[in-house]
Amino acid sequence: MEGVALSPPRVFLALLESMRPRQWIKNLILFAPLLFAKQLSDPVRLIHSVAAFALFCAVSGVVYVFNDLVDRDRDRQHPVKSARPIASGRLPVSFAIPFAAVLLTASLAASFALSLPFGAITLAYLLTNVAYSLYFKRLVILDVMIIGLGFVLRALAGAVAIDVEISPWLILCTILLSLFLAFCKRRQELESLAEGAGGHRVSLQEYSVAFLDQMISIVTAATVVCYSFYTISPEVEQKLGTRHLFLTIPFVLYGIFRYLYLVHRRGQGGNPATSLLTDHPLLLCVALWAAVVAVILYR
């Protein structure tokens, strides 16, 4: 049995699973500066954005492996996370550590080769996530805010990779949307784990469903208002050369409302990437939003 578990194909698949490819959808935010800077037609900047996306996927994959190594004992007590490769024993620690070290070294070297600012932000993203895994995820509220910082660093990385200025509105919308998703995730964890929630994640002992619902209500309203102001801002209108971006507001409203429906009625929200990929109405809404934005900006 041990020989089967350590066979190269099985180890490779376990390594890939530990890097959580589904979660790489979060890194698509690196393309936001390219889209809103109206540079999609620039082949050099497009290649740089794709390279930045690939490098962030590699680094975030290493972060997930590191997180699973740190949390492997706690994950074994979780009804779902116990099936993860490291927690279940399908991926030996002796394989995971050198793999993560080699991939991280190569990814960071390539990131600095792409550009020094991009490499610095990639390194900051790595250190932020390491600090989160080792310390900040135990602190109520700050654990969610650190997750939000990770999304902001993604957006900044996408901007510096193609050497364009990023709008403060885009940063603010990113922060609020990431807080919305993170609070929904905590709510789902609290409900699904019930009495054992504190044993799996220390910060969950300080949360309650009522408190999280209040936080979700605040960031939901703030996200919608912030995005609406962004679309009608005279500064943005002048910079993008259009005053029709407000036409995308209904897609944002539906997307947020649909996600709240999934959280409250379907018991989802613990994994935003999975919810997006498996819920067809939500996926269609995001695709239509991107298509309408592209048409408005590039028509």
In the CATH scheme, what architecture does the domain 11-166 have? Answer: Orthogonal Bundle (1.10)
Q: Work out the pLDDT band at 2, boundaries 50, 70, 90.
A: very low
What tokens appear for 115 in the block?
């550009």
CA distances from 82 to 4, 47, 85, 278 (A): 20, 38, 8, 22
pLDDT tens for each residue of 164-175: 988 888 899 999
Closest CA to 34 of 154, 164, 151, 152: 164
Q: What is the pLDDT of residue 79?
A: 74
pLDDT tens column, 197-222: 555 567 788 888 999 999 999 999 99
- Give the mean pLDDT of the chain: 89
Angle at 197 between CA 206 and CA 283, to 5 degrees: 100
Place of tokens 């300080």: 206
Counts of helices then strands in the chain (DSSP H, E): 16, 0
Q: What is the pLDDT of residues 122-141, one digit of tens each?
A: 999 999 999 998 888 889 99
* Residue range 222-267, pLDDT digits in tens: 999 999 999 999 988 888 888 899 999 999 999 999 999 999 988 8
Distance CA 85, CA 6 (A): 12
Domain residue ranges of the chain, discontinuous segments joined by +:
11-166, 168-299
